[in-house]
Amino acid sequence: MSRRKAVYASKLKRATHLLFYKRHTKPGAKGWELRKTLGADYSKTLKLLDDHLKALDLQVKMIFEEEKNVEKPTPEQLDRARYFITLRGQITPKEAKMVGWRIDDLAGLAITISYIISKRGKAPRKEVEDMLRDKLPGWKVGINIERYIRHGYLTQDENEQLYLDWRTRAEVDQKALVDLVLAK
């Protein structure tokens, strides 16, 4: 193996460890952490890792935590971005159970996210609760919303307005979701 190949093989391993293993409260790694460990050309290593993961139906995903999607990110914005490994394709409803969510909790999450998207990214908690109460027992509605907030799917401000948070941006293809709901 050439020296260059060996260097990248070692970087690939380090990137895999950083992105797969949860080390902080949030999974994945920040751009600056990757730069520190893998060097300035870390995006090249991540591209290689992404190619390797394709065969396993996984992918490297990046989201800008504070900002919305940025077309031409600056190095500072890339440093602050968070990188994850996510599923590349789709899972079947049966497989969804393996993720550790009950069907009604997952349905509640789907409804909440779709509703907030339709309201231009922000909806009063009360409206979302009313919507969920249609299908879920009343005592469960509040608990579920808190759970979605805890996992990073939603966030709430002091006026009890719900917004989509980092995990939704990382995991959910929002356009595809709306199109699928409307196509049903």
Partner 1 sequence: MESRKGRQSLGREKLSHIIETCRAVEERSLDPFLIDVKQDIEAVKEYFPNWTIAEDLCLDAATIHHLASVIKLQGEWVKHRSTSLYTDPFLLEEKLRSFSKEETVDTFVKAWHPIIELEQISLHSLAEAMGYWINLVPIDERWKEEPPDKVEAGLASREELLKEQIILDKAFSEELENSWHELQERVQEKGENGRIPYWHFISGKTYDETVQRAFLTSFLVTYGYATLEIYPLEEEIFLRPNDKPELKIGKKQLVSIPISVSAQEWKKQKEEEPH
Residues in 79-98 that interact with partner 1 by CB under 8 A: 84-93, 95-96
Instruction: Look up tokens 């979302």; give the residue.
Output: 128
How far from 60 is each of 28, 31, 48, 54, 88, CA to CA, in Å? Answer: 10, 12, 10, 9, 9
Nearer to partner 1, 47 or 135 (CB): 135
Tell whether residue 118 is a contact of partner 1 (CB under 8 A). yes
CA distance 28 to 107: 26
CA distance 153 to 88: 19
Bridge-based pairing of strands 154-156 and 82-87 is unpaired
Nearer to partner 1, 9 or 181 (CB): 181
Binding-site residue total for partner 1 (CB under 8 A)? 54
Interface contacts to partner 1, rule CB under 8 A: 20-22, 27-28, 36, 39, 58-59, 61, 84-93, 95-96, 99, 103-104, 106-107, 109-111, 113-115, 117-120, 131, 134-135, 167, 170-178, 180-182, 184
